[in-house]
Amino acid sequence: MKKNFNIRRKQAGILSAAALVALLSFGNSQAAEDAATIKRVQDGIAKLIPGEKPDSITESMVPGLYEVMIGPRLFYVSGDGKYLFNGKLFEIATREDLSTPKISLAKADAITKAGEGNMVIFGPEDSKHTITVFTDIDCGYCRKLHSEITQYNDLGIRVRYMMYPRAGVGSASYTKAVSVWCADDQKAAMTLSKSGKPIDEKLCDNPIVDHMKLGELLGVTGTPAVFLSDGELLPGYVPAAKMSAYLNGRTNQ
Catalytic residue among 73, 143, 158, 166: 166
Whole-prediction pTM:
0.79
pLDDT (0 to 100) of residue 49: 84
Catalytic residue among 73, 136, 138, 160: 136
Comparison of pLDDT for 27 and 81, the residue scoring more:
81
- 136 assigned to active site: yes
- Among 158, 160, 180, smallest CA distance to 119 is for 160
| DSSP state letters, 220-248 | --SSSEEE-TTS-EEES---HHHHHHHHH
E strand or H helix that includes residue 216: helix 208-217
N- to C-terminal Cα separation, the chain:
69
- 158 assigned to active site: no
Percent of the chain with pLDDT over 70: 86
Taking a C-beta distance cutoff of 8 angstroms, is the pair 79, 57 a contact?
no
State yes or no: pLDDT of 2 exceeds 50. Answer: no
State yes or no: pLDDT of 229 exceeds 90. Answer: yes
Taking a C-beta distance cutoff of 8 angstroms, is the pair 152, 127 a contact?
no
| pLDDT class of 26 with cuts at 50, 70, 90 | very low
pLDDT (0 to 100) of residue 37: 86
Taking a C-beta distance cutoff of 8 angstroms, is the pair 121, 152 a contact?
no
Which domains are present in the chain? 2-98 (3.10.450.70), 116-251 (3.40.30.10)
- 40 assigned to active site: no
E strand or H helix that includes residue 27: helix 2-48
Catalytic residue among 73, 138, 139, 143: 139
As a whole number of angstroms, the distance between CA 137 and CA 143 comes to 7
- 166 assigned to active site: yes
- Among 94, 25, 29, 89, smallest CA distance to 58 is for 89
pLDDT (0 to 100) of residue 149: 97
Interior/surface letters 215-232, b for 16+ CB within 10 angstroms, e for the rest: beebebeebbbbbbeebb
Comparison of pLDDT for 194 and 252, the residue scoring more:
194
Where do runs of H (alpha helix) occur along 118-171? 140-146, 149-154
* Average pLDDT over the chain, rounded to an integer: 88
pLDDT (0 to 100) of residue 183: 97
State yes or no: pLDDT of 1 exceeds 90. Answer: no
State yes or no: pLDDT of 175 exceeds 80. Answer: yes
State yes or no: pLDDT of 233 exceeds 60. Answer: yes
pLDDT (0 to 100) of residue 50: 87
Catalytic residue among 138, 142, 143, 160: 142
